[in-house]
Amino acid sequence: MESEPLLPTAAPPLASYNTNTVEPSVPSSINRDPSRTSPQQILKIAIRLKTLLDELISGNTDANEITAPNSTILDGHIIEMAYKAAAGAGNGKPGTSSYAYRSTLVFALLVVKKWYISMANTTIFNADLYHLRELAAEKLAAQILDSQTDDHYLFIDMLCKRYSITLNDEESDPLSALELAVDLHSTIVISSAGYQRCMKWLWRGWIIQSDSDPTEYVFYRGVSHTSFWSHFDPDRIKTPLYQNALQIFFSIIYLILYTASINTPNEARGTFDSFEILLYILTLGFIVDEVTKLYHVGFRYIGFWNVFNDTLFAVLSSSFVFRMIAMFQTDSDNKVKYDLISYHLLACCSPLIWSRLLLYLDSFRFFGAMLVVLKELFRESMVFFVLLIFVMIGFLQAFLGLDLANRRSESTDLILTVLSRTVMGASDFDAFDTFAPPYAEILYNIYTFVVSLILINILIALFNSAYQKIYDNATDEYLALMAQKTLRFIRAPDEDVYVAPFNLIEDLFLKIPIAWWLNKKSYSRLTNTCMLIVYAPVLFITAAFEVDNARRVTYNRLKGLPDDANEEDKEWDLDDGYYEYFSESEEEDNDEERNLGSSSAREPGLSVVERRKRNIERAASQDPDFVIEDAVWKERVKKAVATKLCDHEDTKQDNEEQNDKVELSDLRDQIKELTELVTKLTEKVSQN
């Protein structure tokens, strides 16, 4: 796959376009490879940016002034100073040194944000100031992203290219601004328009990893190709959108197989039916996938959902083991015993399997926002559980001490049961009536009061504050979740993507028996052929989907727009005619025009869009008093809005002047009163 040419600056007429033969022209600006900025240079740029923010942001700065859309603090002058921090010659023109250095600005600002986070954690007395500067670094990075007009420079050079920085005389691991923003949870950067457009292109597979160097990213060249077979490529399965769709599909299949297995127990004890065999095969594929990623990524791969999935797989594996034990039992009683244990364990997996589906539905906004809220609630609840553990241990030790007072432990089970159920709201005040009176009863009343009235209300308050915090920032948090999900697909350790359980095919039939002795080139052809066979049904769907997108991209390029500018026809945009141009035949157009009673269908040289606009204008101009030229209306609107803004400024200035007059009048009255007091005091002193 080769890099995709940048968008054309001029568009040929729509009527002369052939979707299968014409390729948009390639601007000269695409033929560039900015020299990679050294880690030492990036460190210097980051230090310069930190100096700028240190001088700009003081403790008296309001956070709202920093994040405001038209911030008076991070204005055009400060953005220009940030560009100057990158130095270099050429004032940012393509091909110059400043052009290459400026591509590291977003990465450097995120590094500065990381420094401020560290400083806020180590110098708590100044944490508020460092949080303000951290906020300013994020906002400045977002403004730089939104100011870019060159898509290739924005997506590839500024966001996707990996950079290293020298820290403590050591070069850091290469990291892109995309990855660093997700790792630092920089929601302001992530929610910026430039970042989100890049994420959308990555999600759709319009930006892909280079074949020659997987650490580099290029534009997918086939994005505008309308040939079906050009998209019938197994490498397209690497697209995050398709991987996510496959995971959702297999999760639903997994759920169906589990439901069939649990609802149709075998008549013969200790045997497997077809549903269970498929269920355990899928489970094995998921386990191998988890182990492979853990091996390549390390312990950083471990998260909440990994622990959740591993717990599910552990219980299912235990069920499988007990079923195998039952199969080899000769005694019928033991066979029934182990078979029942297997089914009981299998039944306990139901809540986990249904909840697991949420992991793959987070790409839908409703489920994604819900998962963000749940994640924050779980995080905040840690405070409650820490307090609860200390309280429970303290009271548990007290009750156990009372139980051991007579040198015998007789009520341990009772104590553990009552203390645990009290947390769930099932208090039992009669349980300790005869146990070490009156001490046990007094202790239990205190425990119930602490847990039911204090700790539970603390938990409610924590949940309320966490929900409010997420609710106020729900959109940004969802975008951050989607960015993390997209990068998780892109950061996958394997170059050949076999979505579980297809990874079993790769491991059992390719890697283990063949990969170790076959040369790399031949093995690549073999695995490509295998992927083509395995994913053939999926590729028919994805290829058709991409052909439809390619037609839209082609139409956008002909209009001189970015590839993703026109996702769908806008009802208010009378100049947009994608569906009419690509979907309607000339006969249908003529029928439509005849139904409208228009003769413009027979006028040569008019496109469908022009004929539609002509019809609307003719129908709307039947009443002469209704006619207003579009250009005249736009000019009137501009003047009216400008007048409104001027009146607003004049009113604001008049109010300020009036306030000044009132304050001056009050000051004069106070001076007059003070003068009278001084005069009276002088007279009294003279009389004495």
For residues 68 and 60, is the Cβ–Cβ distance under 8 A? no
Dist. CA 239–CA 228, nearest whole Å: 17
For residues 23 and 572, is the Cβ–Cβ distance under 8 A? no
Residue 482's closest CA among 108, 181, 39, 116? 181
Dist. CA 92–CA 573, nearest whole Å: 35
pLDDT score, position 657 = 63
Residue 108's closest CA among 37, 156, 55, 170? 37
> Beta partners for 218?
208
Q: How many residues does the chain have?
A: 688
For residues 524 and 532, is the Cβ–Cβ distance under 8 A? no
Cis amide leading into 437 (omega within 30): no
pTM for the whole thing? 0.79
Instruction: Please give the structure tokens belonging to residue 69.
Output: 């859309």
The interaxial angle of helices 240-263 and 350-360, nearest 10 deg, is 160
Running along the chain, 688 residues long, what does each successive block of 10 average in pLDDT? 38 36 37 65 94 89 85 88 90 88 94 94 90 93 92 92 89 91 93 93 91 84 88 90 93 93 75 87 93 83 85 93 87 86 92 89 83 82 88 90 77 84 83 78 88 88 82 84 89 75 88 86 88 92 91 84 78 68 50 47 58 76 78 85 72 64 74 81 75
| Long-range contacts (CB closer than 8 Å, 24 or more residues apart) made by 683-688 | none
Cis amide leading into 438 (omega within 30): yes
Q: How many CA atoms, within 13 angstroms, populate the side-chain half-sphere of residue 321?
A: 7
pLDDT score, position 294 = 86
Number of other CB atoms surrounding residue 602 within 10 Å: 11
3-state secondary structure 538-582: HHHHHHHHHHHHHHHHHHHHHCCCCCCCCCCCCCCCCCCCHHHHH
pLDDT score, position 599 = 44
pLDDT score, position 143 = 93
Dist. CA 338–CA 328, nearest whole Å: 10
Its sign, for the CA torsion 156, 159, 165, 171, is: negative
For residues 89 and 160, is the Cβ–Cβ distance under 8 A? no
pLDDT score, position 311 = 92
The H-or-E segment that residue 171 falls in is: strand 170-171
Dist. CA 205–CA 228, nearest whole Å: 16
> Beta partners for 166?
171
pLDDT score, position 14 = 35
